[in-house]
Structure 1
Amino acid sequence: MQIIRVSLENFRSYREGLVDFVPGVNAIVGANGAGKSTVLGAIGLALFNARPPSIHNEGLVREGANSATVTVEFESTLDERRYEVERRLGTNARFRVYDIEMG
């Protein structure tokens, strides 16, 4: 699996965030508190519903927002197709997998 893009909306400290990845090795760098771990946690949540045991859904939704959305776009190494996985928390919670090439 090659992650292409991660999009965050009202997720933890991010009002809006977009992280693009390139083929190969990527580094997520920044100052303490910049949101590096949040990006990694968002990937785990979107793809595997993994979350730190000490944080409930309420702690993942940005303060003042009703819902948070994490979207991960990736290319599968199995079929070389692009997919988009979206996980929404809070109001209108949902999980969806979308095959980008099929529309």
Structure 2
Amino acid sequence: MEATSSGRRSKQIRAKKRIEQLKAFYIHLAVFIIVNIIVIAGAVSGNMNNGQSFGEAFFNFNTFSTFIFWGIGVLFHGFKVFSYNPFFSKAWEERQIQKYMDADRDEMKKYS
């Protein structure tokens, strides 16, 4: 009975941690969207006040630089939260673990 209770408690803790990660990501995404709308609107407005047309003001790298660089951060945050890793997948981790276990086993055979 105690093992079941302990296992359930462990699952509950992991689920709570997962919910906290998701919540943090969605808050990060919402702040990203809201702040970037304000920053882009301010940049376009400021550029237009400096004599640029709407097209020139809008299609300026400086207008979107915050969006681009912060967006990269949001993207990686999303990768982490949703367990997407194109470089170090679970299969890669398992191969590495197996490789080191095999090397350790071979090393131990030398001494037996």
TM-score range (shorter-chain normalised) is: under 0.3
Q: Which has the higher strand share?
A: 1
Q: Which has the higher contact order (CA 8 A, sep 6+)?
A: 1
**Pair member with larger Rg:** 2
